[in-house]
Chain A
């Protein structure tokens, strides 16, 4: 078949062309321990491709954090040394992320931040291990990444298992707080590892809490352009609540389908959903976004420090900082704290400092950032947000909420 060979050739060419574009000649010897000059931190995010908007904000947030630290006097234990961010575009592709990580470490980066996608994170982690340069994952939730016995890879955000379990717990608590009886929960999720593993952790925890989970409905996030049939299945099952895991574009389709099918559920809760707690979801979804919950990690909206960061970003770039890039911002502050503690530019010493750190974060976690054996931040937990009057606001747990959860209008 001519067409098939055409498509095969085309795809192959597309991959090779971009892969070549991503690798750069590795000139210059590693010079990480240079005692003078700036301290270089590598930032790897998807600046082009489908995730470009978030990726670019992550990159801007990383630079903002470095700038603020430099303006406040740099790293004091290193004589006020300044931070310098070396930026790189992963293009959302694991092999590009890997070659860029290699390039940045060769260029003298003493730590890496990134990368937003789990597949990219797995590749960057191998480079970090090989070169003995600490790698702090801002966002990339797959559980596998930290199960390889790595010692140089750390993760700030909650793992996908934690996100799934808290989803079930919060669903139960929300039902109790709003005085609604929820026993049967349908789960709609995109069908790759992200959706499937979140669903598994959710169901495990839900079983312990006495919630009945089913039916499980999956869809292909890359191909879906209508989710009406999926929501009709939810309606036909006659459940009390609907839990959803997905990405942004399909999240909007889900919200639209909920509005037209009217599945008559009391609670719609995203479990670490890519759309439901995004600040642009109410703008893009309009009325159909109203009332939808999401259990996700977020900055602590009750702290004035969070607002200061949001304001600084707004002033500099004229756009609202989203919670995902906020995590990247926090990663740079964390690395700066580790540098401060290590009083050294040696990546191995920085790793040691990170492994034993206790860092007060403005993220809405259950305590300071502290890493366990695998490199996971053990105090990372999500909060529940809800779309209320066109804004995404934290509503649960009460200590980190700025508003009360609002039951769906019947």
Chain B
């Protein structure tokens, strides 16, 4: 407990120092406040993307390169329902989440399960192949034309001179609620306990009578359902096109490893850290890609904690 408190204290001190430095570097309080706010909100979205990945990565030990494509599928579900049926984009969560859950279940049961325990290359090729298949099917069905889904009640909110669109705040709130829900599922339900057991020791779990294959499929499905939710929540913020999810793929992996494989709190903390790093890093090193600073922080954290922030040592 004491260690947790001292660690939180350390994090707070580091954050304060970084923000003060950014303020001094940019010479404007408003710009710094904006970077912090944008960083937090973006970090929420990154956390949301990483949540599904970390579940799949942590439990099935599969590097899912199709995660971004699943997210794109969620975006298209939202965009189509919002434009054709005139639904509020946030209501389409009721469609995109079950849809992606089903897709994930089928994909795991009939494709990914065949590579479980197989070579890494087979898994990589499979998930990459699924990503290409999804992307190009969307291209075929809906052409490469862009779509946007405006939120009619969207309005800029002002905090300390910084602004944030309501749609971005909603995506952040949605991400945090979803993180809470997934965390509760994993820690407070029988299903969650079973999933954690499978993650810890698949052989042991099957010895005590757990249906490991079914649990793998359910976990994969839960992971893709998170991608679907992420897709819906970011749809009002992005341009929907067949390659839209790609943007979040690499960042998602970085967040997962930074936070610790399979850890939901790790995905949230990792997401927020990456979001803030990206925005504040832009103030420290203007003219450089934000990824430079992001990967710098990534390497430093892994030197200090190779298992990630919330991961258990191997």
Contact = CB atoms under 8 A, between A and B. Distances in A.
Interface of A: 1, 3, 6-7, 9-10, 13-14, 17, 48-56, 191, 216-220, 222-223, 225-226, 228-230, 232-233, 235-236, 248-249, 252, 256, 259-261, 280, 284-286
Given A3-B257, A191-B287, A56 B143 contact: yes
Interface in B1-48: 26, 28, 30-31, 34-35, 38, 41-42, 45
The 6 closest A-B CB pairs, nearest first, are: A52-B144, A53-B144, A260-B156, A232-B34, A284-B148, A236-B28
B211 interface: no
A409 to B, nearest CB: 18
B146 interface: yes
Interface of A is mostly: helix
A220 B291 contact: yes
Interface in B226-271: 234, 237-239, 241-243, 247-248, 250-251, 253, 257
Contact of A236 (B31, B121, B148): B31
Given A220-B291, A223-B290, A51 B144 contact: yes
24 contacts: A3-B257, A6-B63, A10-B124, A13-B121, A48-B136, A50-B144, A53-B146, A53-B241, A55-B144, A191-B289, A216-B287, A218-B286, A223-B251, A223-B289, A223-B291, A229-B279, A229-B283, A232-B31, A232-B34, A249-B146, A249-B241, A260-B156, A261-B156, A261-B163
Contacts of B121: 9, 13
Given A3-B63, A48-B139, A191-B287, A226 B38 contact: yes
B216 interface: no
B168 interface: yes
B184 interface: no
Contacts of A260: 156, 163-165
A220 B290 contact: yes
A229 B163 contact: no
B125 interface: yes
Contacts of B41: 226
B291 A6 contact: no
Given A1-B302, A6-B63, A13-B124, 6 more contacts: A56-B143, A219-B282, A225-B234, A226-B237, A249-B239, A259-B156
Contacts of A284: 146-148, 239
B125 A229 contact: no
B247 A225 contact: yes
Contacts of B98: none
B38 A228 contact: yes
Contacts of B35: 229, 232
A228 B28 contact: no
A248 B60 CA distance: 37
A203 to B, nearest CB: 14
A53 B31 CA distance: 36
B25 to A, nearest CB: 12
B200 interface: no
Contacts of A232: 30-31, 34-35, 162-163
B297 to A, nearest CB: 15
Contacts of A217: 286
Nearest to A236: B28
Nearest to B291: A223
B81 interface: no
A285 B147 CA distance: 10
A247 to B, nearest CB: 10
